[in-house]
Structure formats: C-alpha cells, structure tokens
C-alpha cells in the first residue's frame, strides 16, 4: 500500500512547515507496517520563477498527475506579484486537477484557542465544504468604457448545473456517511439568478437523501451564527466566494492561521488531490524558526483521511489536541517558546506515545 506524495514546499515558511509535516508522515510510516510513502520534491515557487520565469515546470501538471497526493506549503514572495504566484501554480493545480471540493474543518482543538466567550469544544466542531472550481471565482467578466464616465465593470458568477450539483451531492454523501445535519449557505434574496439556482439544486438533490436533515441560511445570517451560535452547524455546503470568506471566519473562531487547514479534493480520484495549510508564506517571519507547523500537520491528518486511513487522521488530530495543552512547547504565535523544528519533533514524540 505505497502512496506517492508530491512535495511542493514553495516559499518562505511553506518550506519550514512542510518539513515538519514530512516528519509526521515518516513517523506514521515507522509506526504502521502497512503504510509506506514515497516522497518526491518539486522545487517550484517564486524562487524558481525568478530563475526561470515560470512558477512551475512547463509540463508540471503531467509530472504531478501520477501522484496519490500533493502536499503544498505556500507560495508568495515580496518581489513576485501575488496574482502570478497564485494563478500560475496554486490555481493551475486546483483547476487543472479538477479539485472542485475544498474541505475546511472548523474545529476547536483546544478551548483556549477561541475568542468566543463561553464556547466549548463541542460547540465549535463542523466541516465547511466549499465549491472550489467555479461560481463567483469563474474569472469571467468584462471591463467596458474604461476610463470614461460611463465605465462599467462586470464580474460574472458562473453556476453550471454540473458544477453546482456535484458539490451539493458530495456534501449530502458526506452528511449521510457521517450521520450529520447538512446546512446550505446561499443568498437567494439578493442574488436572484445564481443563488435561486443554488437553492433549487440543493432542494432537488435533498430528495435523494431523505435521511439527511437539512437547513438553509442566508450568508449574512450564517456569518452571525458562526460567531454567536456555532453549535448550529455540523456540515456546511456553500459557494466559492462565500466559502472563502466563511472559512477565514471559521479559522478566526478556532485559533487562526497557525492551525487552519484545507484540502482540495478531486473525489473521483482521476487526478491527485492537494493538501495545504491555509496560511501563506509569511515573509515577515520566514527563515527564523517562528512558523507554527500545526496547520501543515493537520493537513497530514486530512491526507490520511483521504487515503482511507481514518485511524491515523484520528490519531494525528488527537495528538494535536494533546500538544496544544503544552503551552511552552508551542511556537511564539501561540504564546510558546519553541521553534518550528522543536514543535515538529515534540509532535512526533507525542504521536509515538499515543
């Protein structure tokens, strides 16, 4: 059962945190005789761009296509425009490999991590399933009469039947599998085409899953409930833009960027899926051993889950909970004194003890 993993550490702290994630993967390998990983390093990112004029090799997607998963740190460099690093690597992979599901857990791993008063770990424990391929981020639009007083800019949301139905169906499958309530978040009162369609598809697909309890919220109300009553949510399905914004809010109520993870999934497994911490390359702290590796390590848990190794994703999450109790062993962003490397080692030690 050998899994081939493509490593794209990328830039800045991306390289530092992926190193810790690889340590965790190697620890899993050493503890489980049925698991074997093969790692291949890809030196792509902004430094590569400054040398070659490309963010990744010309045939980069071909090179990646035979892997079981991609483990990505972050890309971004102060001297390279962000739209280049984003579109020519990250979005190229997400789109090229049809990773149309974005999975972001909003789960409180330690009570001290939330700014919400009186909320416990049971209250903040849900999964956001974000549409990751079209919708408001279709890239379509128009710029008319530029510079004139009549100037008009259009940004088009594209909601295809196929694209909308597949993400909603994925969410229903997940809700049924986990025996959880499914909440759809949209905005049909104001977005009178796209979100009316979204709601319609949600209601249609729901008839195939009579055993799944459902709810629908408008996105503005939902954002209030994320903060005031997060216990309302179990599994959430929403569009690309709403999911992007809501999951940052989700990160904020569960400890911030140091512990936020996201998986980009191609459920059909026709192409590799990609696992990454939500944070960026953090040039302000890069190279100083200050980066918190826990988000990248949580991505490893998501990868294990995707590989069907649920026992290992559970163990990694459990170890995250254990580690977060030891404040002095954490990185400075969480009030600790440890380095990135030190926390990575401490994590592996705790994982072995479990």
Q: Applying CB under 5 A, which of residues 16, 244, 276, 305 lies at the interface with Mg ion?
A: 244
Q: For residues 62 and 284, which CB has a smaller minimum distance to ligand NAI in the complex?
A: 284
Strands 125-131 and 235-238 come out as: parallel
Q: Which does 244 bind (CB under 5 to 8 A by kind): Mg ion, ligand NAI, none?
A: Mg ion
Q: How far apart are CA 122 and CA 43, in angstroms?
A: 41
Least distance (Å) from ligand NAI to the CB of residue 153?
A: 23
Least distance (Å) from ligand NAI to the CB of residue 60?
A: 15
Contact criterion met (CB below 8 Å) for 275 and 136: no
Residue 328 burial class via C-beta count within 10 angstroms: exposed 0-12, middle 13-18, buried 19 and up: exposed
Q: For residues 163 and 277, which CB has a smaller minimum distance to ligand NAI in the complex?
A: 277
**Separation of CA 210 from chain center:** 29
Q: Report the DSSP beta bridge partners of residue 31.
A: none
Contacts of residue 222, Cβ cutoff 8 Å, sequence gap at least 6: 183, 185, 236, 246
Give 27-38 as a DSSP string. Answer: HHHHH-TT-EEE
Q: Which does 292 bind (CB under 5 to 8 A by kind): ligand NAI, Mg ion, none?
A: ligand NAI
Q: Which does 258 bind (CB under 5 to 8 A by kind): Mg ion, ligand NAI, none?
A: ligand NAI
Least distance (Å) from Mg ion to the CB of residue 45?
A: 18
Contact criterion met (CB below 8 Å) for 222 and 113: no
Q: How many residues bind ligand NAI (CB under 6 A)?
A: 22
Least distance (Å) from ligand NAI to the CB of residue 178?
A: 27
Site for ligand NAI in 12-51 (CB under 6 A): 13, 17
Where on the phi/psi map is residue 211: left (φ > 0), alpha (ψ -120 to 50), or beta? alpha
Q: Which does 75 bind (CB under 5 to 8 A by kind): Mg ion, ligand NAI, none?
A: ligand NAI
Q: How far apart are CA 294 and CA 276, in angstroms?
A: 11
DSSP class of 35: -
- Encoded one letter per residue, x for contact with ligand NAI by CB under 6 A and - for no contact, window 276-315 reads x--xxxxxxx-----xx--x--------------------
Site for ligand NAI in 64-123 (CB under 6 A): 74-76, 82, 85, 90
Q: Applying CB under 6 A, which of residues 213, 314, 333, 341 lies at the interface with ligand NAI?
A: 333
| b/e map 139-178, b = 16+ CB within 10 Å | eeeeeeeeeeeeeeeeeebbbeeebbebbbbbbbebbeee
Q: How many residues bind Mg ion (CB under 5 A)?
A: 1
Least distance (Å) from ligand NAI to the CB of residue 74?
A: 4
Asked if 276 touches Mg ion (CB under 5 A), the answer is no
Nearest one of 80, 85, 94, 95 to 44, comparing CA atoms: 85
* Residue ranges binding ligand NAI (CB under 6 A): 13, 17, 74-76, 82, 85, 90, 257-258, 276, 279-285, 291-292, 295, 333
* Residue ranges binding Mg ion (CB under 5 A): 244
């Amino acid at each position: 059962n050998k899994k081939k993993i493509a490593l794209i550490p990328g830039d800045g702290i991306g390289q530092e945190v992926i190193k810790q994630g690889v340590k965790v993967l190697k620890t899993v390998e050493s503890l489980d005789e049925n698991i074997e990983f093969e790692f291949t390093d890809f030196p792509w990112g902004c430094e590569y761009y400054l040398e070659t004029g490309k963010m990744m090799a010309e045939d980069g997607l071909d090179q990646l296509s035979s892997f079981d998963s991609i483990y990505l740190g972050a890309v971004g460099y102060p001297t390279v425009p962000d739209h280049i690093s984003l579109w020519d690597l990250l979005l190229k992979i997400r789109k090229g490999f049809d990773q149309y599901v974005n999975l972001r857990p909003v789960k409180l791993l330690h009570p001290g991590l939330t700014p919400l008063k009186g909320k416990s770990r049971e209250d903040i424990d849900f999964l956001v399933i974000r549409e990751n391929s079209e919708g408001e981020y279709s890239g379509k639009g128009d710029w008319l009469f530029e510079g004139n007083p009549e100037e008009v800019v259009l940004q088009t949301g594209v909601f295809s039947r196929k694209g909308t139905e597949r993400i909603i169906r994925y969410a229903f499958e997940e809700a049924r599998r986990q025996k959880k309530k499914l909440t759809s978040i949209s905005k049909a009162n104001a977005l009178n085409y796209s979100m009316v369609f979204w709601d319609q598809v949600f209601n249609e697909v729901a008839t195939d899953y009579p055993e799944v309890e459902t709810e629908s919220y408008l996105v503005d109300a939902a954002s209030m409930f994320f903060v005031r009553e997060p216990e309302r949510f179990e599994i959430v399905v929403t569009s690309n833009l709403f999911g992007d914004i809501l999951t940052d809010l989700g990160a904020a109520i569960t400890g911030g960027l140091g512990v936020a993870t996201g998986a980009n999934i191609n459920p059909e497994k026709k192409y590799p899926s990609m696992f990454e911490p939500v944070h960026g390359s953090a040039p302000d702290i890069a190279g100083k051993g200050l980066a918190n590796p826990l988000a990248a390590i949580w991505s490893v848990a998501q990868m294990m889950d995707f590989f069907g190794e649920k026992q290992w994703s559970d163990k990694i999450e459990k170890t995250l909970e254990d580690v977060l109790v030891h404040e002095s062993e954490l990185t400075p962003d969480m009030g600790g004194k440890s380095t990135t490397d030190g926390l990575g080692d401490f994590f592996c030690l705790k994982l072995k003890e479990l």
